[in-house]
Amino acid sequence: MKYLLCTLFISSLLSQVLEKQNKLLWDGTDWNSIERKADVSEKSVYRIKSAYLNGLLDGRLYYYLKAWTVEQEFADSLYSDKLDYLTTKETIRQLDRFYEERLMVYVPVISAIIIVHMQAEQVPKRVIDLYIDETKYWINRLTLDMEEEGMRKLLELKQSKYVK
């Protein structure tokens, strides 16, 4: 119970920080700031990071199952990348290493998870580099659109596009 309350408290603090920054996705700056902001033991930092990863993967599974009920082949092709190749502890260690490189801090955490799993599976470097470039492009495009149109309007446009 104590662990749950601690995690919820820290999550609410971090969500308030994200809300003030007008950000849509967590990236390397947020990932690296957990240790500074939490100012607690390594075990607590691990718990925060693993809770975040597990939340992302649970959300991903939810949307996979939701898409799978509508169109199985589409869902399988959309969610075909394996994100269970590494354990949570190994994934956290690889993400920490990935975000040590200054040029990668703008890559969203969900994309970084895919990248570190691709590296672990020994996918060719050129494929990984292409994925990183495409990720940086779409996140930069999304950021520019948010600045021009405003986040609320952009999300409403995206939502109305897919809701029938």
Residue count of the chain, please give it: 164
**Sign of the CA dihedral 94, 99, 101, 107?**
positive
- Domain borders along the chain are 2-162
Q: Are 25 and 107 in contact (CB under 8 A)?
A: no
Stretch among 1-10, 18-27, 35-44, 68-77 having the lowest mean pLDDT: 1-10
Backbone φ and ψ of 108, nearest 5°: -60, 150
Backbone φ and ψ of 24, nearest 5°: -100, -40
Residues 80-138: tens digit of each pLDDT: 667 777 888 999 999 999 999 988 998 999 889 999 999 998 999 999 999 999 999 98
Residues 124-150: tens digit of each pLDDT: 999 999 999 999 998 888 888 777 777
